[in-house]
Amino acid sequence: MDAYLGEFVGTMILIILGAGAGASINLNKAYAKGQGWLYVAFAWGMAVAFGVYVAASFGAPGHLNPAFTIAAAISGMIKWSQVVGFIIAQMLGAFVGAAIVAIHFYPHFKASKSEAEGNTVGIFATKPAINSPVFNFLSEVIATFTFTYITFNLGNFTEGLKPFIVGFVIFAIGASLGSTTGYALNPARDWGPRFAYTVLPIPHKTAAHWEYAWVPMCGPIVGAAIAALLFNLQ
């Protein structure tokens, strides 16, 4: 049970830090408004690292990501019987993390009265720079494959260092491949916050764009699964 709680809390921390950075650079009156892409990419990298550290303190594997959990099961790193429980915990943690960000930035949402002023689902979830569903899907497949395959091949580091290295892998993916779709890499990181944006009473909120949500769900799962299958051949 502690492992499932760890996935929940770790994913919550991931979203608080990652979506918090998104809110900071987008919403009116926030001191960080206007910061660039590398700011966000670095924030998400550190969000993953610290989320994994927190999850590990509960004895969880620290996947924080349904696609990575499925890949870990394909590679025999966890039991298939654990997959559904981990995914539920990750989705719930992502929703709660997004709710906390919505509360924290509530006055700034009130001060941002349109998408043009930064009040957008992109604070919480991903959206493509160019709306091209097939290529958006392929972007998520490629980015998640790259992240998963690198992470599976990191090997052993000094105890406690690996989550920090994984965070820099996320930063590298964001800086290189992430600017096409916002690099979900993680269905929970997108769907939990997107659902929170949909149902919570966030002032002046705009469309949640659920018509796009299949991309950050399916793309990462396919990419991570391919990485796991390739890793199994090594």
Please write the tens of the pLDDT for every residue from 94-111: 999 999 999 999 999 999
Between 187-199 and 2-26, two packed helices, what is the crossing angle to 10 degrees? 70
Is the pLDDT at 158 greater than 80? The verdict is no
Query: What is the span of the domain harbouring residue 197?
Result: 2-232
For the domain that residue 85 is a member of, what is the CATH number? 1.20.1080.10
Domain count, the chain: 1
- Residue 91 and residue 73 in contact, taking contact as beta carbons nearer than 8 Å: no
Is the pLDDT at 122 greater than 90? The verdict is yes
In this structure, which amino acid lies at residue 28?
A: N
- Spatial CB neighbours of 147, under 8 Å, sequence gap ≥ 6: 169, 170, 173, 185, 223
* pLDDT digit string, tens, across residues 61-79: 999 999 999 999 999 999 9
Is the pLDDT at 160 greater than 90? The verdict is no
What one-character DSSP code corresponds to residue 82? G
Average pLDDT for residues 141-169, to the nearest whole number? 91
Q: What is the pTM of this model?
A: 0.96
CA dihedral 151, 156, 157, 160 (to 10 degrees): 80
